[in-house]
Structure formats: C-alpha cells, structure tokens
Chains A and B, each alone.
Chain A
Amino acid sequence: SAVISQKPSRDICQRGTSLTIQCQVDSQVTMMFWYRQQPGQSLTLIATANQGSEATYESGFVIDKFPISRPNLTFSTLTVSNMSPEDSSIYLCSVAGTSGGDIQYFGAGTRLSVL
C-alpha cells in the first residue's frame, strides 16, 4: 500500500490569491494524479503528473490555472491560481499502488473555500 500525506488539509482563501497543495508519498511512484471534487459531486481528474515531464491536463483544466510540479518520484504540488469562489472544492492527490498497480490510493484531500 501507499501512504499519502497531503497538506494543507483545509484552507480559506481570498478571491484572487493562489494556494499550493502538497502531496508526499511514502514510496516512489511513476504517476501521481490530481482530482477535484466539487461540493456534492463526484471526482474529476485535473491532471496526471509524471516525474521529469510536464503534467498532462484533462479537458477543461489548463496549466495557467492549475500549475503542477513533480520534482521527484515521491512529491508533487498543485497550485490553484487566481482563485474565485467557483474553485471551492476538495482537491485530492492519488497514486497507483506499487504492487502491480491494482489499487489507486488517495490522500486525505484539501478542502478549499474561496471567499
């Protein structure tokens, strides 16, 4: 299994500011994933972060709004830039298990409220 530490666990931010979310894994993983869960909704994939290359963004998500870093095989950050109230969501990082990749594990999530 993989243990994922995500921080901050929650934050309240002002409109127009940016927040960087950190995700640390206890083992080396090739791919890390960032998801958004809007209130009462399912999970939507934002991007896939591979070490040593630029993140791959899903339709509707752009690098200028959600820049991602992946400096090594155990760490990634997601920044939510120029925030608006519509960005209020839970942001989760996820990794595939290291034993054959059968299970995808999730961090505890970052609960973001934008005023």
Chain B
Amino acid sequence: ELKVEQNPLFLSMQEGKNYTIYCNYSTTSDRLYWYRQDPGKSLESLFVLLSNGAVKQEGRLMASLDTKARLSTLHITAAVHDLSATYFCAVLSAVGKLIFGQGTELSVKP
C-alpha cells in the first residue's frame, strides 16, 4: 500500500530564511505533485514531477524528485509572508489514485 509522509508537519519561518519540506513515499511511482492550500480554500497545483532528477522552480519555490530514494523536496528561498499556507505532496499510485501526505502548515513571520 502506498504511503506518503511529509515532514515537518508544522513550520514557522522568519521572512528571508530558507527551508525545505520533505516528502517520502513507500512504493514506486512515476508522478509526484505539490499543492498549496490557503485557509478555507481548495488546492492549487504548484508542480508536477514526472521523472527522476526532475527539478521545477516557480518564484521562491523549487521542487525536486529522486525516484530512487522515493523522496521529493520543496525548497523555499527567502520566504515571504505570502507563502504562508499548507503544502501537500501527493503521489500517483499504480492504479491511478492520488495519495496525499499529511500536509505541512507553513507560517512565515516578519
């Protein structure tokens, strides 16, 4: 059974600092997603990572995928308050289901 684990679950950062959120998964998959959820809102797609070594960047966020280690990272550079949200990774299972991690609640403080 595919399991997806994120850490940390809660992250309080100061503006301007860098940090990384980790996403580990238990079985082979060829597709990993990162989503952002603001309080009371639905999920916004950030990145789709399709292959080993894939790296994607958008603004202050950069996501990478290591399929051999079954690990994805979401790196935050020079955090700003607008990045405060909950971030989810999700992995596509062999039967086409999207399995979500627990989410990382990020709070960026001045």
Please give the residue numbers on chain A whose beta carbons come within 8 Å of chain B beta carbons, in ascending order: 31, 33, 41-45, 48, 58, 92, 94, 102-109, 111
Contacts and interface: CB of A to CB of B under 8 A. Distances in A.
B33 interface: yes
Contacts of A48: 96-97
Contact of A107 (B42, B45, B102): B42
B100 A104 contact: no
B103 A45 contact: no
Nearest to A92: B42
Given A102-B48, A102-B50, A45 B97 contact: yes
Between A102, A103, A104, A105, the greatest number of chain B beta carbons within 10 A of the residue's beta carbon is seen for A104
The A interface, classified by DSSP as helix, strand, loop or mixed, is strand
Contacts of A104: 33, 45, 90, 98
A33 B98 contact: yes
B52 to A, nearest CB: 16
Contact of B88 (A42, A94, A105, A108): A42
B88 A31 contact: no
Contacts of B96: 31, 48
Contacts of A42: 88, 100-103
A43 B88 contact: yes
Given A45-B98, A106-B35, 13 more contacts: A33-B98, A42-B103, A43-B43, A43-B90, A44-B100, A45-B97, A58-B97, A94-B98, A102-B31, A102-B50, A104-B45, A107-B42, A109-B42
